[in-house]
Structure 1
Amino acid sequence: MKAQSSTSPDRVFSELRKRLFTTAYAMLGSRADAEDVVQDAWLRWQVADHANLRSAEAWLVTVTTRLALDRLRERKAERESYPGWWLPEPLVEVDENTPETAAELASDVSLALLWMLERLSGEERAAFLLRQAFDQDYADIAVLLSKSEANCRQLVHRAKEKMRDDRPRFQPTPEAHRKLLGAFMQAAGRGDRQAMKALLSPDVAFISDGGGKAESFHRILRGAGRIAGIFWRIENLYSGCVQYRMARINGEPGLLRYVNGTIESAQSFLIEDGRIATVFIVRNPDKLTGAPRHFSP
């Protein structure tokens, strides 16, 4: 059965575009690169033999994933020479009432997950995402990666082993996540170090990405007192000029921080056992173009 026999190729692609973008973004962590990959997939779709395809979706996901793998290999040297820590470009949504957003579509690829995926090879990353995030059958993954099912199972197993120690045991509900961040936002806005410290795990990790264009730490910082002190320092350095705004970042509750009304960072938080276990802060201005630039509370 040919899935697209009664539907135009343009409409088929349009209906699958969001899925393809999410797949490419999960592989690359870059909105621009993901959009380029989807555009390349579109060009290949235009000249494909639609009449003889068994599944348009399988064909397009396969092409998109392979293009993303190629792009990931091209970006390897760039990632290795990146100044400081590299974090994905956040997908930001500030309107809670718009259901069809890129951020919501990326809810299975949080900044925390993409950070952990950085330690995987390209094929491990593809196999893991297709299986765990997108629930693909191993038979389909094998075709996509031109490997046996056994090899694909091994790729996913290795990926899980590499990520095992850093994956949270329990995911909080969105409501609990949002409530905790709301309390932290209020404490940070007051510059209340003790209140912030109480909301952080004792060994909380702090990872920042300035891309060489904004101040950041080139090592992972740890400790509730130290991390609370970083937020306290910002509040006191720009006294009266710092505002926080709740947002969805990659489909999860997060914070945007503004200084003098201009976006300064996008912040994502990994929650464990009711406290903030990891803070991811993207300050590289090139990665903040998807967030509202100005904010007047």
Structure 2
Amino acid sequence: MRETAATAVFEDSRRFLLNLAYRILGSRSDAEDAVLETFLKWRESDHAALDNPRAWLTTLCTRHCIDQLRLAHRARVDYVGTWLPEPIHSETTESPEQMLELSSSLSTAFLLLLERLTPRERAAYLLVDIFDLDYPDVARAIGVQEAACRKLVSRARAGLAEGKVRHAPPRERQEQLLDAFHAAIATGATAGLTALLADEVELCADGGGKVPTLGHILHGKAEVLAFIHDSLRGYWGDYRWLPADLNGGRGVILASAGEVVASVTFAYDELGQVSNIYIVRNPEKLAGLELPGRGAGDG
């Protein structure tokens, strides 16, 4: 296979590999590194000997991500404060079925649930339930027998309690939340936001020890509203407020002097109320975000 043809074959799979790697690793930058490593090894491979290049690329990328995730889990033990996945731009849709599928595999809440799984469980589950690959193909990709692969997926499904994060309210409801959240920040008026929060809502923030942020998770509507009114309002009052499609739903990017300084995403309960608010302020995790209007990729 000529180099130009080989590159074209890889490019046909790049988006799939990036989507897979991000969901395994929870980091856009690490996912891009995994895809680059896959490409470099693809260039060195004997293409003529490959019956199924897509399967070969999937196997290589998956195994690299599993190795990286093992290392990441060790590093996260020493992470300063709350660890959250790296936010990414995404496209949303008004189709309830498509929105549910997207949010269930891209949402911050779901990616945090995936942290409960072993690296192999996570990869096997994603390949089978999110990317719809057959068990024999997934077993080969992660290097186990098919029976073992089925057990990995079964354990993953049992461990995820998936129903808790598969709730995606209509886009209009999400826009209503953003307006209410902005009003609370801009004017201190929290009545509209209060009505949209679940009683047991939680708020957490990830600064990675690089910028000041919350050192613990806030629990309950009263505590969360007090923090928004008394703290965020003062800190965020002068930031540009930029609604954006993030991690499969409507979120917010905050900017100052042309730089992204924070992102906010949400999770919802079965009633459409906000169950979790996730704030990322770690500059390293915000580096891949584009200010709305400048162009951005999707996940």
Tell me if TM exceeds 0.5: yes
> Where is the helix percentage greater, Structure 1 or Structure 2?
2
Displacement, 1:133? Answer: 1.6
Amino acid at match of 1:155: L
Offset of 1:262 from its aligned partner? 4.8
Could you tell me how far apart the structure 2 residues matched to 1:174 and 1:8 are? 41
Q: 2:69 aligns with which of 53, 58, 72?
A: 72
Once the two structures are TM-superposed, the CA of residue 91 in structure 1 deviates from its matched residue by 0.9
| Structure 1 residues 199-228: Cα deviation after superposition (integer angstroms, max 9, x where no partner) | 110001112111001223333221112112
Cα distance in 2 between the residues matched to 1:27 and 1:165? 16
Task: Verify: 1:155 aligned to 2:124, yes or no.
Answer: no
Query: Which of 30, 55, 58 is residue 61 of structure 1 equivalent to?
Result: 58
Q: Are the structure 2 counterparts of residues 233 and 264 from structure 1 closer, same or farther at C-alpha, using a change threshold of 3 Å?
A: farther
CA distance in structure 1 between the partners assigned to 2:191 and 2:139 by the alignment: 52
1:88 and 2:85 are equivalent in the alignment: yes
The equivalent position to 1:285 in structure 2, one of 283, 286, 296, is: 283
Cα contact 2:254–2:261 (8 A) shared by 1? yes
Q: What is the DSSP-based 3-state SS (H/G/I as helix, E as strand, rest coil) of the residue aligned with 1:245?
A: strand
1:144 to 136, 141, 146: 141
Alpha-carbon shift at residue 170 of structure 1 (Å): 3.3
CA distance in 2, matches of 1:8, 1:294: 35
Any conservation in 1 of the 2:186–2:237 contact (CA below 8 Å)?
no
Distance in 2, Cα, partners of 1:278 & 1:231: 14
Matched residue of 1:87: which SS? coil
Q: Note if contact 2:107-2:247 (Cα within 8 Å) is conserved in structure 1.
A: yes
* Structure 1 equivalent of residue 260 of structure 2: 263
Instruction: Assess, with a 3 A threshold, how the Cα gap between structure 1 residues 96 and 223 changes in structure 2: closer, same or farther.
Output: closer
- Does residue 185 of structure 1 match 2:182? yes
Q: How far 1:270 moved relative to its partner?
A: 0.6
Residues 228-251 of structure 1 deviation map (CA, whole Å, 9 limit, x = unaligned): 222212354248414421001123
The one-letter code matched in structure 2 to 1:176 is: R
Letter in 2 for 1:289: A
**1:238 and 1:259 in contact (8 A); partners too:** no
For 1:35-50, list aligned pairs within 5 A: 35-50=32-47
State the alpha-carbon separation in 1 of the partners of residues 16 and 44 from structure 2.
21
Residue identity matched to 1:216: T
Separation in 2, partners of 1:170, 1:91: 19
Q: In structure 2, how many angstroms separate the alpha carbons of the residues matched to 1:26 and 1:191?
A: 36
1:191, 1:235 within 8 Å by CA — same for their partners in 2? Answer: no
Shift of 1:127: 0.9
> TM-score by structure 1 length?
0.85
Aligned residue identity for 1:226? E
Deviation at 1:172, TM superposition (A): 2.1
* Equivalence map 1:13-24=2 (5 Å): 13-24=10-21
Q: Taking structure 1 as reference, are residues 280 and 173 closer, same or farther at Cα in structure 2, changes over 3 Å only?
A: same
What secondary structure sits across from 1:214 in the alignment? coil
CA-CA distance at 1:34 after TM superposition = 1.2
| Structure 1 alignment gaps of length 5 or more | 98-105
The question of 1:245 aligning with 2:242 is answered: yes
2:297 aligned partner: none
Provide the rounded CA distance (Å) in 2 between the counterparts of 1:133 and 1:195. 35
Contact in 2 for aligned 1:26/1:114 (Cα 8 Å): yes
Q: Which residue in 2 is equivalent to 1:127?
A: 124
Q: Which moved more, 1:112-121 or 1:48-57?
A: 48-57
Cα deviation, residue 280, structure 1: 1.0
- Computed over aligned residues only, the root mean square deviation of the Cα atoms, in angstroms, reads 2.8
Residue 196 in 1 paired to residue 190 in 2? Answer: no
Contact 1:204 1:224 in 2 (8 A): yes
